[in-house]
Structure 1
Amino acid sequence: MRQLEAFSLGKKFGHPETNEDSLVVMPNLGYAVIDGVTDRNGTRYDGMLSGQFASRTAQRAIETFLLAQGREGLDEQQFQGGEHFIEYLGKAIHAGYVANGALDAVEKDWKLRGGCTVMAALIIGDRLEVVAVGDSGIRINGHDTLQVLKPLDDVTAILRRETWRFFEVQGKPTDECDRLAASMTWQGTRNQPANSITAEDAVVSAIEDRAMAACRQHLPQVPDAELLLLVQHGIAHGQGKFQNVTDPVLGYGGIDGFDVPARYVEIRSYALEDIETIELFSDGYFKPGDGFGVASWEAAFREVEAEDFHKIGRYMSTKGTTPTQLTDDRTYLGVRLK
């Protein structure tokens, strides 16, 4: 290894301890970026919100796994392919539920589960084995990029954008547009607080019509029933119904302590001698850096913020930057081998 650069920053200003991203940096063994899923309801395990718990648990499990490579008597921790590696991480989170006395609860209610994505680059002999679940990314040699973004996020991002624009036209100030759009996106149109403007029948009907029309245009292959479920029930009440199931068009994978279908496990293998640079990043970066290194990726981050601060334009998202927090946690890890 000739050069290593890493950077991670949580989205909440003044509260770096809430960062749900994690890094694994083990030169000559492997590297990973793990992104914890934002907690839905304040559930805590080991004193951490569920997303951070899943992220940190996966981090420790990967470190243990890398240290075990080539050691006798540790067969379960030897690399046996990408699906086995993801199963191993899921078992670590599952064991965490057991240790917290929460297994029965999380088996019955997906809203109580912790979850994370992972992008791992493992050095196994003379190969670089890349294994991923979710929307964190990797760029090899500055051009070979793997990042699987889930169309489901586009649905809730469109819901947020249409809500934001609806209230903007009504003359609401920016902070109010942010707040009302966040409420719709998180809870869905049919779970709004009583007596809130977002619970008024006329408002709900107008936003549902706008969001569904935009979603149909953007994702014409997705059944209306799936779009409507997400629009009406949002991230907190609807999104989990699509995780780690294969029937819905909008299904996606996440590591939450239970089975991850093989279709959601991304695997790549490279000859290590062909690798010059490895760059891993979480989805808090909406645009890749022009070159290798933290400075380049942070420049790209600033460009995105300048163009689309609220994330309702080219970089539409389920969240936007506000006076109290950035759109998302972000993490970058760059390794130059040659």
Structure 2
Amino acid sequence: MSKGTSMNIEAFSRSKYKNSTKPGDDVILIEPDQVLAVFDGATDPTGAFYNGESSGRIAARSAARCVADMLVRGTLDEAPAEMIFQEISTSVKTAAQERNVAHPASTTAALAVKCGDMYRILALGDTGVRLNGTKILQHHKIIDTVSTAARIQVHKTLSQRMDESDDVEFATRQTIFLGLEAAIETGKLTRQETELAIQAATQASGLPQSVVAEFLSGGIRTQFHYANADHLLGFASLNGGQVIANGLTDLTIPASELESIEIFSDGYISIPTSGIRCADWEAEFTRVETEDFHKTGAFPAVKGSTSSETCDDRTVISAGI
């Protein structure tokens, strides 16, 4: 096998539900020696399923089919990245409408496309790409930094008056999802305790406190309003709307300079420092779960793990070239 002309491919994807009773929101697309892609559908905050699929999985699967179609048409080689992602976004909207999805469906996308003797790396959202086991291309949303810092503070507060770790985690998730104002109204938190969460998120993000407070007051259930929005908390999303180029990646690199490509969803909180195999990613995942199960310490995240769920779905494609 000559370098740059073929691939040795591994892939692994696991739902966040430990008993595997529900599918995750990640979708893989593999066309050997043509395109590798991972799509991470956004979790539907309503928890709704449509014929066995969440809105996030519907979005991710629609995006994968759209990319496969563009591959056949030759669009992925030279078309502007903005046009490619807009076509994917439009396909997500169509799929959501066909299934009468109530909450806006959305997904990320990260692709490695073989273009002759070159590879084109395209990404939008927080799904990441690593080249040659060293160069990492991954965009992190500032709105997640806000949610994470607030969640950690709320988790700390609730841990002082709740004994069961699962109860603390689920109560924390509900608080951050429904918003701090709802937590005050229901008596879950005091006004002073919500102020501590706002202060923590303001410090972590560096954003004006008024911006942070407005978002956290309404909670993650309002996050879709910031998708593709011209706002300090705005982020790019393949959600059927006009896609903004915030954090968009479009990189072309000679195949002769590549030894490996890894594409991974953000369910992997930490990236392995050695090895590119799926087993290496899973070993790192296990290490993180052992060291910071609640994701409030060395590996902060928007959600922590519980006895029934990990913090997120996780997916990785590893290709040796």
Residue 224 of structure 2 is matched in structure 1 by 240
Range moving further from structure 2, 1-10 or 132-141: 1-10
Q: How far did residue 318 of structure 1 move?
A: 1.5
CA distance, structure 1, for counterparts of residue 18 and residue 303 of structure 2 = 15
Q: Could you tell me which of 32, 41, 45 is aligned with 2:37?
A: 32
Residue 214 of structure 2 is matched in structure 1 by 229
Aligned partner letter, 1:37? A
Residue 4 of structure 1 is matched in structure 2 by 9
Q: Could you tell me which of 14, 25, 39 is aligned with 2:19?
A: 14
Q: Is the 8 A contact 1:22 1:33 kept in 2?
A: yes
Range moving further from structure 2, 261-270 or 128-137: 261-270
Superposed counterparts of 1:25-174, under 5 Å: 25-44=30-49, 48-69=53-74, 79-100=78-99, 112-170=103-161, 172-174=163-165
Q: How far did residue 170 of structure 1 move?
A: 2.9
Aligned partner letter, 1:94? K
Residue 172 of structure 2 is matched in structure 1 by 181
Q: Is the 8 A contact 1:134 1:148 kept in 2?
A: yes
Aligned partner letter, 2:315? T
Aligned partner letter, 1:114? A
Q: Is the 8 A contact 2:184 2:190 kept in 1?
A: no
Are residues 101 and 183 of structure 1, via their aligned partners in 2, closer, same or farther at CA, if it must alter by over 3 Å?
closer
Q: How far did residue 78 of structure 1 move?
A: 6.4
Q: How far did residue 124 of structure 1 move?
A: 1.9
1:267 is paired with a residue of what secondary structure?
Answer: strand
Residue 73 of structure 1 is matched in structure 2 by none
Residue 296 of structure 1 is matched in structure 2 by 280
Q: Could you tell me which of 259, 263, 269 is aligned with 2:246?
A: 263
Residue 307 of structure 1 is matched in structure 2 by 291
CA distance, structure 2, for counterparts of residue 313 and residue 78 of structure 1 = 42
TM-score, normalisation: structure 1:
0.87
Over residues 142-163 of structure 1, what are the superposed CA-to-partner deviations in whole Å (9 max), with x where a residue is unaligned?
Answer: 1111010112112111221111
Are residues 38 and 183 of structure 1, via their aligned partners in 2, closer, same or farther at CA, if it must alter by over 3 Å?
same
CA distance, structure 1, for counterparts of residue 24 and residue 78 of structure 2 = 29
Q: Is the 8 A contact 1:119 1:130 kept in 2?
A: yes
Identical pairs, percent: 27
CA distance, structure 2, for counterparts of residue 148 and residue 205 of structure 1 = 33
Q: Could you tell me which of 322, 327, 332 is aligned with 2:306?
A: 322
Are residues 101 and 51 of structure 1, via their aligned partners in 2, closer, same or farther at CA, if it must alter by over 3 Å?
closer
Are residues 55 and 2 of structure 1, via their aligned partners in 2, closer, same or farther at CA, if it must alter by over 3 Å?
closer
Aligned partner letter, 2:258? I
Superposed counterparts of 1:269-284, under 5 Å: 269-284=252-267
Q: Is the 8 A contact 1:159 1:184 kept in 2?
A: no
2:17 is paired with a residue of what secondary structure?
Answer: coil
CA distance, structure 1, for counterparts of residue 69 and residue 246 of structure 2 = 26
Residue 3 of structure 2 is matched in structure 1 by none
Aligned partner letter, 1:265? L
1:280 is paired with a residue of what secondary structure?
Answer: strand
Q: How far did residue 47 of structure 1 move?
A: 5.0
Are residues 130 and 78 of structure 1, via their aligned partners in 2, closer, same or farther at CA, if it must alter by over 3 Å?
closer
Are residues 13 and 308 of structure 1, via their aligned partners in 2, closer, same or farther at CA, if it must alter by over 3 Å?
same
Over residues 123-154 of structure 1, what are the superposed CA-to-partner deviations in whole Å (9 max), with x where a residue is unaligned?
Answer: 12222111111101000111111010112112
Aligned partner letter, 1:258? G
1:18 is paired with a residue of what secondary structure?
Answer: coil
Q: Which runs of 5+ in 2 are unaligned?
A: 1-5
1:119 is paired with a residue of what secondary structure?
Answer: strand
Q: Is the 8 A contact 1:58 1:93 kept in 2?
A: yes
Residue 210 of structure 1 is matched in structure 2 by 196
Q: Is the 8 A contact 2:58 2:96 kept in 1?
A: no
Q: What RMSD, in angstroms, separates the aligned Cα atoms of the two structures?
A: 2.0
CA distance, structure 1, for counterparts of residue 61 and residue 244 of structure 2 = 22
Aligned partner letter, 2:17? K
1:190 is paired with a residue of what secondary structure?
Answer: helix
Q: Which runs of 5+ in 1 are unaligned?
A: 70-75, 107-111
CA distance, structure 1, for counterparts of residue 150 and residue 22 of structure 2 = 30
Range moving further from structure 2, 209-218 or 307-316: 209-218
TM-score, normalisation: structure 2:
0.92
Q: Is the 8 A contact 1:21 1:36 kept in 2?
A: yes
CA distance, structure 2, for counterparts of residue 274 and residue 77 of structure 1 = 20
